[in-house]
Amino acid sequence: MVEPIRAILTDLEGVALPSAFMTDTLVPLSRERIGAYIVAHADDDEVDEALEEAGRLFGGFNLKPEEAEALFLRWIKQDRKTTPLKVLQGLIWQEAYEAGTLKPELYPDVAPALTGWKEAGVRLFVYSSSSELAQKALLAHLPEGDLGPLFEGFLDTVTGQKIEPGTYTLIAERLGLPPAAILLLSDNEEELDAARSVGLSTTFVARSGGTAGSHPVAADFAALTLA
């Protein structure tokens, strides 16, 4: 008997909205602003905790602002998925969303599909390398309105790395569902491989065409059929 899909884990960039929004807009903004943001918000608890964690990852150092900036810029260049970097990027992006200088737009098929799945009783979750804060801020500032309430949860690097099979085992346990009842939507073959290796259902969302090994392929959300 085929296990019906009862929950969906979806990435955002490259899956629900163009990846260029991350590479051409979000990342450059964080690179430009991160040094000044650290200085301006040095007394904020979230920033202080991010700097402390970054120093620990760097070898147990107490980082001065200019040292922290250099480290974070290096991580941005290396496309590192470290939690302290993602926290600071999320804060910077949230500030820009609230100021109206960042305007994300989903692919047109996404909002109707999410709404339909929610109405059908499917549990929805975001799983992105961007922080929970960044995910919520993006979804709250869409032309369609705030789509955040459609989602039951927002998973990020605190949950675990997206290419590690054990992360998906933990997610299934957290959701209280058989792995096969959870569908991962991603444009990254490594992530799909990791999820499938522990029993999750998978679909490669091929916005730009192509395939991902033997994973099922959907051109967009409208083309998805949930078993």
Which of the pair, 3 or 86, is modelled with greater confidence? 86
What separation, in Å, do the N-terminal and C-terminal C-alpha atoms of the chain show? 11
What CATH number does residue 153 fall under?
3.40.50.1000
- Specify if 1 maps to a domain: no
- Domain final residue pick, 54, 84, 99: 99
In-domain check, residue 163 = yes
Are 137 and 175 contained in the same domain?
Answer: yes
Annotate 161-170 with b (16+ C-beta within 10 A) or e (fewer): ebeebebbbe
Residue carrying the six token digits 């909205």 = 17
pLDDT above 90 (res 92): yes
Are residues 168 and 95 part of one domain?
no
Mean pLDDT value of segment 118-124: 97
CA–CA gap between residue 47 and residue 35 (Å, rounded): 12
Residues 52, 143: one domain? no
Phi then psi for residue 10, to 5 deg, are -125, 140
Q: What pTM does this model have? A: 0.92
One domain for residues 54 and 79: yes
CATH of the domain at 81: 1.10.720
Residue 77 lies in a domain: yes
Between 94 and 64, the more confident residue is 94
Q: Whole-angstrom Cα distance, residue 151 to residue 144?
A: 15
pLDDT tens readout for residues 13-24 = 999 999 999 999
Note whether 138 and 213 are same-domain residues.
Answer: yes
If you average pLDDT over residues 129-136, what whole number do you get? 95
How high is the pLDDT of residue 62?
82
What local confidence, expressed as pLDDT, does residue 107 receive? 97
173 and 192 in a single domain? The answer is yes
Last residue of a domain, one of 99, 128, 150: 99
Both 185 and 163 in one domain: the answer is yes
Last-in-domain residue among 84, 99, 114: 99
Residue 168: C-alpha distances to residues 85, 117, 134, 174 (Å): 22, 21, 21, 10
- Shared-domain flag, residues 84 and 128: no
Task: Indicate whether 113 and 209 sit together in one domain.
Answer: yes
Residue 225 has pLDDT above 90, yes or no: no
The arithmetic mean of pLDDT across residues 171-197, rounded, is 97
pLDDT at 164 over 70: yes
Q: How confident is the model at residue 1 (pLDDT cuts 50, 70, 90)?
A: low
Confidence of residue 188 (pLDDT cuts 50, 70, 90): very high
Domain with 111, as residue range(s), is: 7-17+105-223
CA 193 to chain CA mean position, Å: 17
User: Do 121 and 72 share a structural domain?
Assistant: no
Q: Is residue 154 part of a domain?
A: yes
Indicate the number of domains in the chain: 2
Same-domain pairing of 35 and 84: yes
* 74 and 160, same domain (yes or no): no
